[in-house]
Structure 1
């Protein structure tokens, strides 16, 4: 077991790669009573085209299958796993994103029984055609519920406009039609391809003894048999940097339009510290342009173009990146024009200097240090960074290494007019 010291943030991380390829990370937190343990696979909604384990040809599986598989993992022949966690005094959950699926629990007692339950249920799939058919109705209702949420439709409508072929444009849960095609065989095929320990990571943080926990996980895995690990072959379409659709809209029962401007960005060019610096540069640049202390925000709010719903989002995962800026607005065209004008203004004469960077740097270091008091934040963010070849605990080092030129470099793709789309959710034309 390796010991990794991060003196800048006063953290000590323990790491081991087990013989089956599973990566295990343990972060003890002095003074904490709760422990949070996650078991995550590098498999998400975008992984719908791949070569299955033991086969030679590319297959295309139904959209939404990663999320469907996440749901089905909790149902076993002897009952529901959620109930077992509850009986052990733990709170369990799971989520599927574009690029990963995570299973997790938090508890203040019964740490090892709950850890055993987590490891065992994720590594023991149980699917039948009967239970798969039953789940289609449940997930279909979830999809329908999200289809009725204007904010969700505005966000995913923007992403769908940005991409022509890449599966990031597809809702993580898929559609009612796509999940209707899922079979138990599909689930087993995806499970055996993506849920091999060599494609997974365990992270434990909080009130945990690293030696005891590592020994426990090591023994649990040694008692199981796994296929020899193979390189996973995923296939993604090539995308041009232009937005696929320049403008789109949807009518829904909203009192005020919701408008989002999306920007399609190149995937991060680096990993490690340089990749982290690039991601932080994008985030800082977005804050300088559109954050609550920016000139844009002050002017737009005073002009009645935005309200408290205004938000900016930057997403970067392996193979894709994008930014979304939006708000409820009674004047969606004026807001869109103001966002575009702000980007144009920044591209013509770079308006930010060392003082601006230093202020953002201090703010982000403060936020990061406070966030290290959250076991949920640490586990989720560490795993995301690890799957992208970066280290969460290098954040302060990366922030301190940033220079103004790093901000100037990321501004270039942010201000590419061809990479933008606008999506608006509007009230019905005959409303009122």
Structure 2
């Protein structure tokens, strides 16, 4: 095993790539009673066009299949994975994002048994026509539920504006129509291609001895066979700025109109620690312009253009990144114009001062250090960053080395009028012409 000790954070990380290609990361935290394991594949909802591992021709799969596959893996041939974890006192869960799917458990004892359960149920798929049809009804109900959620619709409305004709604009669960096209055969193709150990990582964090844990994992994997390793060829549509839809609105049963303004990042090749630095710059820029201590927030709030629902985020993942700013408001058009003007006039903005930058940077470092007290936070973020080559425990150092000049350079390349779009949800009966 490779061992790296982060002196400042007092964290030690053990890593090894097994013979089958599985990347294993062990982070012992012996002062904790809980252990958390997360098994992740580099396969998410946007990966709907690829060359299967046992073929040479590209296929396009139905939207929502990554999420569908996540649901199906919990159903074994003779038992349910949740029952296995419950038997050993563990809680289990899973989630699918745009770019990955993760399966996880947390427990205070029977760590060996729970680790083996995690590996075994993910690596023992069972797809039947009957089970697949049953799952379609369950997921269709889930999709319909989110169709009535204004916040969900606001977010995906913005993504449809920023990324039209791109899988990013489709709900991670797919659509009611798209999941009807899913078959056991398609599930197996996706599983064989993306659930190969070489496209996955396993991270364990908590109360265990690293050598003993690695032995458990190695023995488990040695007893299984997999298809020969083959590089995965994925295809994603281009995301040119010309495709952006500047504005769209819809109507729903809401108490007040909702506005979300987005800025599409056109630099999509940033990876590793460079991507984390990019994210730090985007997040700090938003905090300087719109944080609770900024003059813009105070002005917007005092004028009634925004309320306590106001929020913002910088979102970055494999092959895409964007800013999103949202709020409920009685004056959608006025708020949109104000937000755009603030973003486009960044160069002369009084909030971008060295003094304020230093304070916000210290605050970001403090929040990051506090987050390191959570096993769940470390596990989820560390496993996600592994696919891009970034190191979670190096993020604090990246924040420290970031300068105000870095923020200004980022703003200069990012904040362009042609990269912006707005999605608005109006109250029913209030749609403008």
- State the Cα deviation string for residues 274-311 of structure 1 (Å, max 9, x = none): 33212211111111111222211111111111111111
**Structure 1 residue 139: Cα displacement:** 0.1
Distance in 1, Cα, partners of 2:137 & 2:272: 43
Give the superposition deviation at 1:348. 4.9
Moved over 4 A (4+): 348-351
Q: Secondary structure at 1:76's aligned position in 2? A: coil
Cα deviation per residue 1:199-248 (whole Å; 9 max; x = unaligned)? 00000111122111111101111111112211000001112124521111
CA distance in 2: counterparts of 1:235 and 1:430, whole angstroms: 41
Unaligned regions of 5+ residues in structure 2, if any? none
Unpaired segments of 5 or more residues in structure 1? none
Please show how residues 278-289 of structure 1 align to structure 2 within 5 Å. Answer: 278-289=278-289
Instruction: Determine whether 1:140 maps to 2:143.
Output: no
Distance 1:373 1:122 in 2: 28
Question: Which residue does the alignment assign to 1:385?
Answer: 385
Partner of 1:189: 189
Find the counterpart in structure 2 of residue 80 from structure 1. 80
2:32 is paired with a residue of what secondary structure? coil
Give the superposition deviation at 1:338. 1.3
Determine the C-alpha separation between the residues in 1 that align with 2:367 and 2:45: 30
For residues 241-267 of structure 1, the C-alpha deviation after alignment (integer angstroms, 9 at most, x for no partner) is 245211111111111011100111124
Q: Distance in 1 between matches of 2:75 and 2:184?
A: 13
The size of the alignment, in residue pairs, is 431
CA displacement at 1:331 relative to structure 2: 1.5
Q: What is the Cα deviation at residue 105 of structure 1?
A: 0.4
Name whichever of 224-233 and 163-172 sits farther off: 163-172
Would the aligned equivalents of 1:76 and 1:126 in 2 still touch at CA under 8 Å?
Answer: yes
- 1:49 corresponds in structure 2 to 49
Once the two structures are overlaid, the 10-residue window that deviates more, 312-321 or 186-195, is: 312-321
Change (3 A) 1:289 1:430: closer
Written as runs of structure 1 = structure 2, the 5 A alignment for 1:9-20 is: 9-20=9-20
Alpha-carbon distance between aligned partners in 2 of 1:355 and 1:287, rounded to the nearest angstrom: 14
* Counterpart position of 2:151: 151
In the alignment, does 2:420 pair up with 1:403? no
Q: Per-residue displacement from partner, 1:117-173 (whole Å, max 9, x unpaired)?
A: 000000011000110000000000000000010000001100111012321111101
Calculate the TM-score normalised by the size of structure 1: 0.97
The alpha-carbon deviation at position 351 of structure 1 amounts to: 5.1
Query: How much has 1:357 moved relative to structure 2?
Result: 2.4
Q: In the alignment, is residue 200 of structure 1 matched against residue 220 of structure 2?
A: no
Post-superposition shift, 1:67?
Answer: 0.3
Please say if residues 37 and 115 of structure 2, whose CA atoms lie closer than 8 Å, have aligned partners that are also in contact. Answer: yes
